[in-house]
Amino acid sequence: MKWLAVFALVCIILGWALWTPDLDRALLEQRYRRSPADHLEVLGAFLHVRVTGPVDKPAVVLLHGFGASLHTWEPWATALERDFRVIRLDFPGSGLSPPDPTANYSDTRSLQLLLGVLDALGIQRAHVVGHSMGGRIAWTLAARHPSRVDKLVLLAPDGFASPGFAYGVAPGVPAVMQLMRWTLPQWMLRMNLEPAYAQPTAMTDALLQRYFDLLRAPGARQAMLQRMEQTVLVDPVPLLRTIQIPTLLGWGEMDAMIPPANAQDYLKALPNARLVTWPGIGHLPQEEAAERTLPAVRDFLLEPIR
């Protein structure tokens, strides 16, 4: 039975080495919150919301992707706030927003919260920019609530089912991923983030540290797993065809997460869309090459609406 004792000892050592505890929320807020006023309580959820730029300028809302936070937009927001009132938010369980007390992470709930934020800020219409998961929420908002959106920018948007997946079916989350609630060493996170960047140097130590810290916010990893389990895709084409507003699609040509070829599906379905692609850039153009990618988006947002 000696081998059982050795095995148990190895498991204890591995568990100790890989255990990744949550960080204190107050510490995270000290590091990553700009102001104690950057929050709103909407429909029972406590959301981290950051608003910058002149109140009398057109509003633009920036929606982050899965596993990210409003900080992903920092370079873009700084540049856009000269001409726009820029609104960013962390979806529940992301960034500095605590988990949703309802434990509901469906797109329907995300839309309700987003509309609640706009209402609380007195914004009737806005340009909406969404990346990846945030892109799916952005185009769903434009389809279901067209009176609230002026222009739409979709960066590598999610929405079309990948091969092997079906619409209307909840995805299966591998049991091994449940371990993420207790173990997420930084080297493992780096390994999972690296494919999102075409250039390895784009993922700086500071950027990796921010992702690592915010994913260790209390309840964040459990919320991420619940969001995965509750994401049920619907056939996007009928909804996309109803979107008449000007739409800009943006894609890094080296996106390894959501293939640039997906842009053609969107162009076929969206009546008033155009596409811009960026060579040598991956899934996170706003992080990897902010100065190269923002001009096309900014010019689009500044164009008069015909």
Alpha carbons 250 and 156: distance in angstroms, whole number: 6
pLDDT at 1: 39
The answer to whether the CB of 183 falls within 8 A of the CB of 193 is no
CATH number at residue 100: 3.40.50.1820
Alpha carbons 40 and 248: distance in angstroms, whole number: 29
Please, which residues have CB within 8 angstroms of residue 243's CB and are 6 or more apart in sequence? 139, 142, 143, 146, 152, 270, 271, 272
| 36-58: pLDDT as tens digits | 999 999 999 999 999 999 999 99
pLDDT at 17: 53
Tell me whether residue 16 is in a domain: no
Tell me whether residue 29 is in a domain: yes
pTM over cut 0.85: yes
Tell me whether residue 153 is in a domain: yes
The answer to whether the CB of 85 falls within 8 A of the CB of 53 is yes
Alpha carbons 153 and 274: distance in angstroms, whole number: 10
pLDDT at 12: 36
Mean pLDDT per 10-residue run, the chain (306 residues)? 34 53 96 95 97 97 97 97 97 98 97 98 97 98 97 97 80 80 91 93 94 97 94 94 98 95 96 97 96 97 88
Taking alpha carbons only, the member of 302, 198, 199, 224 closest to residue 64 is 224
Residue 277 belongs to domain spanning:
21-161+168-302
Tell me whether residue 12 is in a domain: no
Alpha carbons 78 and 73: distance in angstroms, whole number: 8
pLDDT at 6: 34
Alpha carbons 255 and 276: distance in angstroms, whole number: 13
For CA atoms 279, 280, 284, 290, the dihedral sign is negative
| Strand order across the 247-252 sheet | 39-42, 45-52, 85-89, 59-63, 126-131, 149-155, 247-252, 273-278
Overall domain count for the chain: 1
Tell me whether residue 8 is in a domain: no
